[in-house]
Amino acid sequence: MAIEKEDNYAMINLGNLYNIVEKDYENAKKYYLMAIEK
């Protein structure tokens, strides 16, 4: 839903979740880049 609404802050939060909690750096990078591009 955050992606569909192009909510940059939500995408940054998703990036933080994957980076800090899940330790899934590929998905973190994906969401950080999506937030930057919008």
Q: What is the pLDDT of residues 9-36, one digit of tens each?
A: 999 999 999 999 999 999 999 999 999 9
Q: Which residue has the higher pLDDT, 3 or 32?
A: 32
Single-letter amino acid code for the residue at 24: D
- Are 33 and 3 in contact by the 8 Å Cβ rule? The answer is no
Rounded CA separation 11/22 (Å)? 15
Task: Provide the whole-model pTM.
Answer: 0.81
CB atoms inside a 10 Å sphere around CB 20:
9
Handedness of CA 9, 11, 13, 15 (dihedral sign): negative
Nearest to 12 by CA among 32, 38, 30: 32
